[in-house]
């Protein structure tokens, strides 16, 4: 099978490519990624010599390039590419609309116009809005209620993907997943930011009072869920994937601090995120029943493994945090 992965140089995309080529070594993967500040070819160094892996630098919004790539005979498109950080979307939403909405449209058109290629769209639990502590977790029937520019752009892309199924009979599936963690996550997201700060003996900035709740899933459990949807999911359907590991940010911070042998004086309470969603949680019953998928990694083991990975890959994150990469990608990004 020939697969186009978009955004494969990012956190989940790079883990997914490695997961897929391990499990299906005879499949061929093309990774189309424009290398924004979050895209990093070092995430995939070990695969560069694999004859079934090819990288193409390019923007999913570039229709000519996307058509050219898709015409290389793709059987499947797995669409990860996105602007993914909520805080950045609050500072400036323009790239979120360009990539997450318009970029998705360009890909959908290319899939539609080149033989209706099977399309799997990667989305988020944030499209459903925010839960109160008493609410039941989100499921596939929860109405959309996005509340940040990021989640609004992802919601728009989900609607477009479904519209291409209904209008153009494009064979699509969507997975909406909760918060991922694991190796190669860019250190702007809470878990890698806090681990690397503590390794640098810096304080960790908890937004507000740290009462917000997230449902954490280890990245390879997410990858296994995407695999299950691609192989066994029903065309036109959406599947909710989650880790079943709800925890407040403060509890999470306490666990990271403890695992790293430090103390709570390292916590710094800072201004809250504007419009900060209180709680996300996913009910993955449909994926479990229909696909036989459920997350396998316990949070304790996954968190310890992730801390160990950041300890062992200091050069990787130090290069990013030193600004070398940020500056490099900023320049390239602006040149697009
Ligand atoms: P990331 O920010 O680490 O990576 C995004 C990748 O997309 C980068 O490699 C970047 O260079 C690339 N990209 C961005 N704009 C592009 C463009 N215009 N053309 C081509 N490539 C482009 O993101 P991530 O955390 O790996 O998330 C991947 C996907 O999963 C996103 O769609 C995100 O919405 C979704 N998701 C993420 C999580 C999570 O917890 N991280 C949870 C659920 C869903
Ligand atoms: O829920 C899925 C989503 O999870 C994905 O769709 C997004 O792409 C991904 O970035 C993530 O969004 P969050 O906003 O939940 O992730 P983040 O790591 O930015 O924040 C997690 C929680 O931690 C959130 O409640 C805000 C808080 N936080 C975050 C940072 C970066 C802090 O308290 N301090 C911080 O410095």
User: What count of Cα atoms within 13 Å lies in the side-chain half-sphere of residue 66?
Assistant: 26
pLDDT of residue 327: 60
Helices (H), the chain: 11-23, 63-70, 86-91, 94-95, 104-113, 149-168, 190-199, 219-232, 249-259, 285-291, 299-312, 314-321, 324-335
Mean pLDDT of 260-282: 97
158 is catalytic: no
- For ligand 1, say whether the CB of 244 is within 6 Å of any of its atoms: no
Contact 182, 144 (CB under 8 A): no
> pLDDT tens, 1-40?
999 999 999 999 999 999 999 999 999 999 999 999 999 9
Q: What is the mean pLDDT of residues 225-245?
A: 98
Residue 287 predicted with pLDDT over 90:
yes
In angstroms, rounded to a whole number, what is the distance separating the alpha carbons of residues 318 and 324? 9
At 188, phi and psi to the nearest 5? -110, -15
Q: Which of 64-73, 120-129, 274-283, 324-333 has the lowest mean pLDDT?
A: 324-333
Ligand lying nearest the CA atom of residue 320: 1
Share of the chain above pLDDT 70, in %: 96
Separation of CA 100 and ligand 1 centre (Å): 9
Q: From CA 325, how far away is CA 317, in angstroms rounded? A: 10
Given a cut of 80, is residue 164 above it in pLDDT?
A: yes
pLDDT value at 334 more than 70: no
Catalytic position from the list 125, 220, 227, 277: 125
Confirm or reject: Cβ of 256 under 6 Å from ligand 2: no
What's the whole-number average pLDDT of the chain?
Answer: 96
Whole-angstrom Cα distance, residue 286 to residue 319? 41
Two tokens at 226?
């995407």
Q: How far is the CA of 7 from the centre of ligand 1 (A)?
A: 6
The CA 87 to ligand 2 mean position distance, Å, reads 8
Confidence label for 248 from pLDDT (cuts 50, 70 and 90): very high
121 lines ligand 1 (CB under 6 A): no
- What number does the ligand 2 atom closest to the CA of 154 have? 6
Reading the block at residue 166, the tokens are 């209904």
Q: Is the CA virtual torsion 41, 43, 45, 49 positive or negative?
A: negative
The CATH number linked to 91 is 3.40.50.720
In this predicted structure, the answer to whether residue 231 has a pLDDT above a threshold of 60 is yes
Evaluate if residue 326 carries a pLDDT over 70. Answer: no
Ligand 1 near 40 CB (within 6 A): no
Helix H or strand E encompassing 247:
strand 246-248
Query: Does the annotation count 300 as an active-site position?
Result: no
Per-residue confidence at 324, pLDDT binned at 50, 70, 90?
low
Our CA angle for 40, 62, 2, nearest 5°, is 70
Any ligand 2 atom below 6 A from CB of 293: no
Please state the rounded mean pLDDT for residues 128-155. Answer: 98
Nearest CA to ligand 2 atom 23: 190
Tens of pLDDT along 210-224? 999 999 999 999 999
The SS3 assignment for 157 reads helix
Provide the pLDDT confidence category of residue 155 given band limits of 50, 70 and 90: very high
Residue 329 confidence class, pLDDT cut points 50, 70, 90: very low
Give the pLDDT of residue 323: 77
Residue 118: the pLDDT is 98
Is residue 126 flagged as an active site residue?
A: yes
CB burial string 29-58: b at 16+ within 10 A, e below: bbbbbbbbbbbbbebbeebeeeebbebeeb
Alpha-carbon span 299 to 309, nearest angstrom: 15
Mean pLDDT across 35-55: 97
Angle between helices 149-168 and 104-113 (to 10 degrees): 20
Residue with tokens 């790539």: 69
Q: What is the extent of the structural domain holding 27?
A: 2-332
| Domain total in the chain | 1
Pick the atom of ligand 1 nearest to 123's CA. Answer: 44
């Amino acid at each position: 099978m020939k697969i186009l992965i978009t955004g494969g140089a990012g956190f989940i995309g790079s883990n997914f490519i490695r997961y897929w080529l391990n499990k299906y070594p005879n499949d061929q993967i093309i990774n189309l990624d424009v290398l924004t500040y979050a895209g990093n070819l070092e995430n995939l160094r070990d695969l560069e010599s694999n004859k079934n892996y090819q990288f193409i630098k390019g923007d999913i919004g570039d229709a000519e390039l996307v058509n050219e790539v898709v015409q290389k005979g793709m059987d499947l498109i797995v669409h990860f590419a996105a602007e993914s950080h909520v805080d950045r979307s609050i500072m400036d939403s323009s790239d979120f609309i360009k990539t997450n909405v318009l970029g998705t449209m360009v890909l959908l058109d290319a899939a539609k116009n080149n033989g209706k290629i099977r399309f799997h769209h990667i989305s988020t639990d944030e499209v459903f809005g925010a839960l109160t502590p008493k609410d039941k977790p989100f499921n596939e029937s929860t109405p959309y209620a996005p509340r940040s520019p990021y989640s609004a752009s992802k919601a728009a892309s989900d609607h477009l993907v479904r519209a291409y199924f209904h209008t153009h009979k494009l064979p699509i599936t969507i997975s909406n997943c909760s918060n991922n963690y694991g190796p190669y996550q860019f250190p702007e997201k809470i878990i890698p930011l806090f681990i690397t700060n503590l390794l640098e003996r810096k304080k960790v900035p908890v937004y507000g009072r740290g009462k917000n709740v997230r449902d954490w899933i280890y990245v390879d459990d997410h990858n296994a869920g995407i695999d299950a949807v691609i192989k066994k999911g029903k065309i036109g359907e959406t599947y909710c994937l989650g880790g079943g590991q709800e925890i407040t940010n403060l509890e999470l911070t306490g666990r990271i601090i403890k695992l790293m042998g430090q103390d709570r004086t390292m916590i710094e309470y800072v201004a809250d995120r504007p419009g900060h969603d209180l709680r996300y949680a996913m009910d993955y019953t449909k994926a479990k029943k229909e696909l036989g998928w459920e997350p396998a990694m316990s949070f304790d083991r996954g968190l310890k493994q992730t801390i160990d990975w950041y300890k062992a890959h200091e050069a990787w994150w130090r290069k990013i945090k030193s600004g070398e990469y940020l500056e490099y990608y900023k320049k390239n990004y602006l040149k697009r």
